[in-house]
Amino acid sequence: MKSYKEMSKEELKAELEGLNAEYQKYLAMNLTLDMSRGKPCKEQLDISMEMMDVLNSKVDLRCEDGTDCRNYGCLDGIPEAKQLLGDMMENHPDNIIIYGNSSLNVMYDTVARAMTHGIMGNTPWCKLDKVKFLCPVPGYDRHFAITEYFGIEMIPVPMSPSGPDMDMVEKLVSDDAAVKGIWCVPKYSNPQGYSYSDETVRRFARLKPAAKDFRIFWDNAYGIHHLYEDDQDYLVEILDECKKAGNPDMVYKFASTSKITFPGSGIAALATSLNNLEDIKKQLKNQTIGHDKVNQLRHVRFFKDINGMKAHMKKHADIIRPKFEMVEKVLDDGLGGLEIGSWTKPKGGYFISFDSLEGCAKAIVMKAKKAGVVMTGAGATWPYHNDPADSNIRIAPTLPPVEDLKRAAELFVLCVKIVSAEKLLEE
């Protein structure tokens, strides 16, 4: 089919008439479909159900060092949970704290602690005139929500398939002592599904921050979330690189089992330097006597080791891979060659990133919603929900059943066509 940009006004008008007639049919269906958040589907939750059977009233609830997991103690987590999550995160157990179910909660606490008490003896951020964070865009809306909540100024940094614009990152970090951190989803990034190149990770490790308390917030949420067994992205380990570069304390690395077992009842972890751990534990011991050790033990007994976890992730991939491939096919078939949109084809993670013509994203999302398909709000992938080009839309294929997802993707394509044709006719 001819590109929309090559069509005459008359051809576009005729095309739009046919599209609007098709859209009316969708309106009559009264659909209620949700592609808004990266939630696991029921089938994914079901594969972890046997974890509910590994502990019962007859089972010994002591961990390997003899600690009774029913009682108080183990501020930083039971040893075998630190080993399991350490293997998952590619870090030594000594560099890990095990938390409750949410890594987002750990990130929030980390920013809050820096605000009220400072990092390793530095001035608390709340006492400074200005605190700034770098935000690779498009990025994860919940990261941006944390920094916005604390009144931290957010500076967008463009993303490429190899990671954030490192020339810009290096300049901002080295020139401005008010820049205290950067949000990163380094593997299968949210929403584009990009993984940082080796060179990008090494440039991060070699940063020369003007601020002594600058920290990289390295959210490795999708570290083992591959879609393909034979085609996986590889990530250089950031803590090792920072140590080699003489910056051992510069990174906080976050992860959890939220999209591995049960999102509401997983275990989260933070990996960082021993100096940072000591600093964090000073606050943590006033906050808790220890997180849910019974749940930590449940995870360890279920997976046994990292190989059990990797085998489990293959089951996840088998469930969601067809959904990603189907959405990509619908986009290819419906929009290929029309020059009105582009999209990523990730090898892992939970999202596909779609870029429309400038000024169309909000209208596309609104049109889809009117016909019964809820997408992530346009602009959500930018700080302050302000996408200056109004073009980025995050697609979350995992939750709906395949048939519903296909219908939702086809309706999305229709909305992209309608809004794009209207935009081009206005110009």
Say whether both 115 and 224 belong to one domain: yes
Q: How far apart are CA 13 and CA 88, in angstroms?
A: 54
CATH number for the domain that contains residue 366: 3.90.1150.10
Could you tell me the two tokens for 367? 């049109």
For residue 53, being part of any structural domain is answered with no
Same domain, 360 and 236: no
> Residue 298 has what pLDDT?
98
What pLDDT is attached to residue 1?
80
Residues 37 and 88 in one domain: no
Asked if the structure places residue 284 within a domain, the reply is: yes
To 5 degrees, how large is the angle CA 353–CA 173–CA 191?
A: 10
> In whole angstroms, what is the distance from residue 276 CA to residue 251 CA?
9
* CA atoms of 345 and 51, how far apart (whole Å): 32
- Is residue 270 one of the residues assigned to a domain? yes
Compute the residue count for the chain: 427
Is residue 287 domain-shared with residue 319, that is, in the same domain? no
Per-residue pLDDT of the chain (427 residues; tens, 9 = 90+): 899 999 999 999 999 999 999 999 999 999 999 888 899 999 999 999 999 999 999 999 999 999 999 999 999 999 999 999 999 999 999 999 999 999 999 999 999 999 999 999 999 999 999 999 999 999 999 999 999 999 999 999 999 999 999 999 999 999 999 999 999 999 999 999 999 999 999 999 999 999 999 999 999 999 999 999 999 999 999 999 999 999 999 999 999 999 999 999 999 999 999 999 999 999 999 999 999 999 999 999 999 999 999 999 999 999 999 999 999 999 999 999 999 999 999 999 999 999 999 999 999 999 999 999 999 999 999 999 999 999 999 999 999 999 999 999 999 999 999 999 999 999 9
- 243, 270, 304 - which closes a domain: 304
Residue 99 and residue 268 in contact, taking contact as beta carbons nearer than 8 Å? yes
314 shares a domain with 299: no
The answer to whether residue 54 sits within a structural domain is: no
Same domain for 40 and 65? no
What are the angstrom distances between the C-alpha of 314 and each of 9, 224, 325, 344, 391? 50, 10, 16, 22, 33
* Domain contains 52: no
Residue 168 belongs to domain spanning:
61-304
Residue 84 falls within a domain, yes or no? yes
202's tokens: 């090494």
Same-domain pairing of 269 and 385: no
- Domain-ending residue, one of 263, 278, 304: 304
Give the pLDDT confidence score for residue 270 in this predicted structure: 98
130 within some domain = yes
Whether the Cβ atoms of residue 389 and residue 358 lie closer than 8 Å to each other: yes
Q: Is residue 198 part of a domain?
A: yes
**Quick one: pLDDT at residue 71?**
97
Same domain, 422 and 347: yes
- β-pairing, 251-256 vs 215-219, is parallel
In angstroms, the CA 268 to CA 103 distance is 5
Element (H, E) at 334: helix 306-335
Q: Are 330 and 406 in contact (CB under 8 A)?
A: yes
Count of domains observed in the chain: 2
- Distance, in Å, from the CA atom of 158 to the CA atom of 389, rounded to the nearest integer, reads 12
pTM listed for this prediction? 0.97
Whole-number Cα distances in Å, 383 to 116, 146, 303? 23, 10, 37
Same domain membership, residue 314 and residue 294 = no
Residue 37's pLDDT is: 87
CATH number at residue 90: 3.40.640.10
Both 295 and 354 in one domain: the answer is no
Q: Say if residue 242 is in the same domain as residue 271.
A: yes
Distance from C-alpha of 148 to C-alpha of 371, rounded to nearest angstrom: 32
Measured CA to CA, the distance from residue 280 to residue 8 in angstroms comes to 63
Q: Does 65 share its domain with 117? A: yes
Domain boundary among 304, 326, 344: 304
* Strand ordering across the sheet containing 153-160: 96-98, 268-271, 251-256, 215-219, 179-184, 132-137, 153-160, 163-164
**Tokens of residue 236, six digits:** 């250089």
